[in-house]
Each structure stands twice: as structure tokens, then as C-alpha cells.
Amino acid sequence: MNSLENDPDPQKQAAPKPGQKLACADGVYNSCDLFQERTEITICHNGECYRLRLTRKGKLILNK
């Protein structure tokens, strides 16, 4: 068994591959896992798409 599978620290677990769904039991996601070296991602909610952008200063901006 892989040692990462038994490690409860989500920071030490490998990021999912593109297209793979993130699973998080407690509803907390690390931005590094979401962005995976990108500066912008798209989040779809109720038929609308939103852009979540990571700025150079490390802040998050959500736009419709």
C-alpha cells in the first residue's frame, strides 16, 4: 500500500490528474490542488460559468 494513501495530511497527497474529480470529505480544498500551476480556472454553478483567477500577489478574484 502506498504511504500517501495512509497519510491524513491532504497537503502531502498528490494532486489529481487533469479531468480527475477532486474528492474532499470536509468540503475544504487547497487552492494548489484546484489551480495545478494555472492562474485561472472555470467553475460552473447552476448553468453559469465563473472564472476564478489567482493574481500575482496571491489573491483570488471570482468573475462571472
Residue type, 40: E
Give pLDDT, residue 18.
58
3-63 belongs to CATH 3.90.230.10: no
Q: What is the pLDDT of residues 23-36, one digit of tens each?
A: 777 888 899 989 99
Please tell me the predicted confidence (pLDDT) of residue 27. 85
pLDDT given at position 59: 97
Residues 18, 14: Cα–Cα separation, whole Å: 12
**Is the Cβ–Cβ distance between 18 and 36 less than 8 Å?**
yes
Provide mean pLDDT across the span 52-63. 97
Q: Is 23:10 a contact under the CB 8 Å cutoff?
A: no
